Amino acid sequence: MPFRIAGSTAVGILILAFIGAIMGPQWDPAPLSEALPRERVSTTIGGALPRQQYDVRVSQIIVELDGSSVDARLTEPVGAPEGRPGVVFVHGAGTGQSESAFGAQTQALAAAGVVTLVPSKRLDTYSTSHRDYVAMAADYERSVQALREVPGVDPAKVGVYGESEGAWIVPVIAARDPEVAFVVLVSAPVVPPRQQAAFATDAYLRNTGVPGGVFRAIPRAVGISLPGGDFEYVDFDVAPFQRQMTQPVLVVYGTADLSMPMVQGAEQIIRDTAIVGNTDITVRYYEDANHGLKVDGKVSSVFLRDLADWAAGLPSTAGASPRIAGADPVQVYAAAPVPTPRWLGDGDVVLGVAAAGAGLVALGPVILLVAGVVRRVRGGPARSAMAPGVALRAWLLGALSLLTVGALIWYLLAVARLALGYERNVWIVQGGWLAVRVLGIAAVVAGVLLIERARRARESGAAIARGAVAIGSLTATVLGAAVLLVVLAYWGVYQLGI
């Protein structure tokens, strides 16, 4: 008997592993073979002129939008001559409040004679499921026009600065308004959001040290159409707008930022702008700086110096050497299009299948419980409608299937928290995955035990289940558990390198 149980369990795991392998795409990102040549380590901006340091004045203005308005923080150099350059800041993901964003950058620029405007992000048209980058660009264009009208600012010298998600918006502004004087792209994703999400997830997981089996979840989670509709922005392609940028561009990355394709991003910006003959691209990499260009919690002082030198020194700094400089950028794998799952490409279907399986598992014992209550109310005798041990094993199968799904969800959330915090925890990353797989195997063992008990009941001539209530309860539990086991196989719990 033990050998039969072990053999049947092994066969069940092999079947689930095969099902999981054929149901969706694998994850095998291609190594990035080419390195971006740097001219020197020093990031000093060539062509920068000696500049005076000014006192800084901060005030608030209101920018009128189409159907709304936002407040904006205006930072100006006190006593700077007329014809000052200006910069409008475009937020990354999140709420983007004017009073709390880009403080170090605006201070450094204003002290160098550059007027800055940080508008709050418009939030009535911005949510997790809906982001229209072209419409957002139109809102920020109102801020560009507002800065052009500030006394002392030269309208022909106003540029735009975009960080992270804002680097998808800024090229739209620059392409639609050739009068924009210059562009700063900081931690620019460059590739479409879906592609960027897969790249960042892969990089974070590798840094966290997760087992190789976990990576299969990346295309199956990122490659689907997301649940609930909307989310059209995940396939937004900024390249067509970058190919229309004629302005000088400063491209900046921190080498500690694992989430951005920092080599591929700079290369693509250089290629895209070359299509319109724009070679005024300056690329800088800052040692140990993170996604927000911070080192030890503060925005890099070297970056702030170079940003001010480049913006205040235009047009002399636009094409000055070195073109590419700084620390050695590290990007091991390419950010590439994400394959779509063969059968479960619809996020609503993915959630619906899992919910249906869980619901059926829960329905099984509920059917028996309700039937028992009705029987007692009517005064009928209590009786077992299933062969001895069948109900217990069926409920154990259902409970272990549900428990494994819950453990998998917990594990993925725990790993995501670690990855986003650049943390490592071997007990969670390795031990947690082992625990999930052990629970998954236990569920298969419970299924084998149920099959074995049903076989023995048949051999003895006893009915496995009698009556519609018992048959319905057993069918719901077993069918729901089978669905959940397939779901677990899809997410890699049973994979064996297939």
pLDDT tens-digit series, residues 185-229: 999 999 998 899 889 888 888 888 888 888 888 888 888 887 766
- Does 230 fall in a domain? no
Model confidence at 380, pLDDT cuts 50, 70, 90, reads: low
Find the helix or strand (DSSP H, E) in which 174 lies: helix 166-176
Yes or no: say if 227 and 350 are a contact pair by the CB < 8 Å rule: yes
Helices 166-176 and 133-148: angle between axes, nearest 10 degrees: 60
Same domain, 320 and 446: no
Report d(CA 313, CA 2) in Å as an integer: 79
3-state DSSP call for residue 241? helix
Same domain, 63 and 6: no
- Does 171 fall in a domain? yes
Mean pLDDT of the chain: 90
Highest mean pLDDT among 8-22, 182-196, 465-479: 182-196
Same domain, 353 and 449: yes
Provide the CATH number for the domain around residue 90: 3.40.50.1820
Same domain, 76 and 167: yes
Beta partners for residue 1, in sequence order: none
Yes or no: say if 120 and 344 are a contact pair by the CB < 8 Å rule: no
Which residue range forms the structural domain that includes residue 466?
2-24+341-490
- Which residue in 221, 215, 219, 281 sits closest to 246, CA to CA? 281
Q: State the Rg of the chain over Cα.
A: 30
- What is the pLDDT, as a whole number, of residue 327? 94
Q: Is the peptide bond before 322 cis (omega within 30 degrees of 0)?
A: yes
Count of structural domains, the chain: 2
- Does 496 fall in a domain? no
Find the helix or strand (DSSP H, E) in which 158 lies: strand 153-163
Same domain, 320 and 386: no
What's the half-sphere exposure (Cβ side, CA atoms, 13 Å) at 2?
A: 0
User: Could you say which of 263, 296, 326 is where a domain stops?
Assistant: 326
Same domain, 20 and 94: no
- What is the pLDDT, as a whole number, of residue 420? 57
With 60 as the cut, is the pLDDT of residue 381 above it?
Answer: no
- Which residue in 435, 343, 334 sits closest to 27, CA to CA? 334
- What is the pLDDT, as a whole number, of residue 357? 93
Same domain, 121 and 91: yes
- Does 314 fall in a domain? yes
- Does 321 fall in a domain? yes
Yes or no: say if 118 and 72 are a contact pair by the CB < 8 Å rule: yes
Tokens at 442, concatenated: 């236990």
Same domain, 132 and 60: yes
- What is the pLDDT, as a whole number, of residue 45? 95
Same domain, 116 and 161: yes
Report d(CA 56, CA 53) in Å as an integer: 9
Yes or no: say if 70 and 62 are a contact pair by the CB < 8 Å rule: yes
User: Could you say which of 273, 292, 326 is where a domain stops?
Assistant: 326
Find the helix or strand (DSSP H, E) in which 135 lies: helix 133-148
Q: Is the peptide bond before 77 cis (omega within 30 degrees of 0)?
A: no
Can you tell me the mean pLDDT for 490-495? 89
Tokens at 420, concatenated: 């986003």
- Does 390 fall in a domain? yes
Report d(CA 208, CA 414) in Å as an integer: 11
- Alpha carbon separation from 465 to 92, 283, 383 (Å, rounded): 60, 72, 12
User: Could you say which of 326, 349, 376 is where a domain stops?
Assistant: 326
- What is the pLDDT, as a whole number, of residue 189? 93
- Does 45 fall in a domain? no
- Does 264 fall in a domain? yes
**More reliable by pLDDT, 351 or 178:** 178
Same domain, 393 and 452: yes
Residue count of the chain = 498
Can you tell me the mean pLDDT for 1-21? 85
Can you tell me the mean pLDDT for 295-324? 95
Report d(CA 332, CA 263) in Å as an integer: 9
Tokens at 489, concatenated: 């196989």
Same domain, 70 and 139: yes
Same domain, 303 and 370: no
Report d(CA 130, CA 355) in Å as an integer: 25
- What is the pLDDT, as a whole number, of residue 383? 56
Record the pTM.
0.85
